């Protein structure tokens, strides 16, 4: 693996049971403690919509995105640990070198079920910590944005961050493993809202919603500023 790596108007408080329409202000003070889950598909087939860049570039970018996402999470105040979930043993070794704990994907064909199972493992490792699941394609993630999400997450139910397109989801948070019931997938923003989850104001966390699926997404992430591993790969590709 080491060869692969070669890095609004305030309307209510978040604890209010029936907030008015809109987004909630972030509370002051340090963020609460969270364990972060990062599911990572094997680079051999992940991010097919980046195939136009060439297969070596695509696989290198998949690894770089995951490394930069996890590195930013590990630097975030309030994060007690990062649990990466992957079946790729080379990738697992490299992510462990970055500082993540790594477990295999026990439910390969069902992301949400895999994350729920991983949440219980996180609770075993870090009792009392909340659960946050991040997509592994957030190379522009800034620790300050993730810390903001941890602070503004609702106290008694799930919260989420919509993706840059406004239809999907990049992050799901819950105060306990029992309340963690992610609905990643097509139209997941609507699915999370329908489930009663609280939506964190996307304007407060621009880098947390900037996922990368296409070359155009990558250009937008580069404009925001990406982590060191993605920057190296992008420079090599003359992007």
Structural domains of the chain, ranges and CATH numbers in brackets: 30-236 (3.90.550.10)
Q: Is residue 25 pLDDT above 50, yes or no? A: no
139 by Cβ neighbours in 10 Å (0-12 / 13-18 / 19+) ranks as buried
Higher pLDDT, 168 or 22: 168
For residues 42-71, average pLDDT: 96
* pLDDT grade for 239, boundaries at 50, 70 and 90: confident
The pLDDT value recorded for residue 141 is 98
Using alpha carbons only, give the angle 212, 213, 217 rounded to the nearest 5 degrees: 55
List 37's β-bridge partners, or say none. Answer: 83, 133
pLDDT band, very low/low/confident/very high, at 203 (cuts 50, 70, 90): very high
Of residues 234 and 9, which shows the higher confidence score? Answer: 234
Q: Which residues touch 212 (CB under 8 Å, ≥6 apart)?
A: 47, 50, 61, 65, 137, 138, 139, 218, 221
Q: Residue 191: which of 201, 200, 181 has the closest Cα? A: 181
Work out the average pLDDT over 41-69.
96
Report the C-alpha gap between 198 and 63 in whole angstroms: 31
Give the global pTM.
0.87
CA distance 232 to 75: 20
Average pLDDT over every residue of 187-192: 98
Q: What would the pLDDT profile of 204-231 be if each residue is shown by its tens digit?
A: 999 999 999 999 999 999 999 999 999 9
Q: Residue 24: what pLDDT?
A: 46
The proportion of the chain whose per-residue pLDDT surpasses 90, expressed as a percent, equals: 84
Separation of CA 40 from chain center: 10
21: pLDDT strictly greater than 70: no
Question: Long-range contacts for 47-53 (Cβ within 8 Å, ≥24 apart)?
Answer: 47/137, 47/212, 47/213, 49/213, 49/214, 50/212, 50/213, 50/214, 50/215, 50/218, 52/215, 53/215, 53/237
Largest CA distance in the chain: 51
Task: Determine the Cα–Cα distance for residues 224 and 27; give it in Å rounded to an integer.
Answer: 25
Q: Which residue has the tokens 């106290």?
A: 155
- Name the band, by pLDDT with cuts 50, 70 and 90, for residue 28: low
Beta bridge partners of 171: 134, 161
Helical packing angle, 55-74 and 228-236, nearest 10°: 160
Contacts of 154 (CB under 8 A, 6+ apart): 14, 15, 24, 175, 197, 198
Predicted confidence band of residue 12 (pLDDT cuts 50, 70, 90): very low
What average pLDDT does this structure show over 44-51?
94
């Amino acid at each position: 693996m080491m060869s692969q790596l070669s890095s609004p108007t305030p309307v209510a408080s978040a604890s209010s049971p029936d907030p008015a329409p809109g987004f909630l202000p972030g509370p002051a003070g340090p963020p609460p403690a969270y364990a972060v889950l990062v599911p990572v598909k094997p680079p051999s087939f992940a991010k097919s919509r980046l195939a136009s860049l060439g297969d070596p570039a695509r696989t290198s970018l998949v690894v770089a995105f995951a490394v930069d996402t996890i590195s930013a999470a590990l630097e975030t105040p309030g994060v007690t640990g990062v649990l990466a979930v992957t079946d790729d043993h080379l990738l697992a070794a490299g992510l462990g070198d970055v500082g993540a704990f790594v477990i295999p994907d026990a439910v390969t064909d069902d992301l949400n079920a895999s994350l729920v199972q991983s949440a219980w493992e996180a609770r075993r490792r870090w009792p009392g910590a909340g659960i946050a699941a991040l997509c592994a394609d957030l190379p522009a993630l800034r620790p300050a944005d993730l810390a903001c999400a941890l602070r503004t997450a609702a106290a008694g139910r799930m919260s989420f961050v919509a993706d840059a397109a406004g239809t999907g989801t990049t992050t799901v948070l819950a105060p306990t493993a029992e309340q963690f019931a992610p609905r990643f997938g097509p139209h997941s923003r609507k699915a999370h809202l329908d489930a009663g989850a609280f939506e964190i104001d996307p304007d407060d966390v621009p880098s947390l919603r900037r996922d990368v699926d296409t070359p155009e997404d990558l250009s937008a992430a580069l404009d925001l500023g990406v982590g060191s591993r993605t920057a190296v790969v992008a420079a090599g590709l003359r992007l």
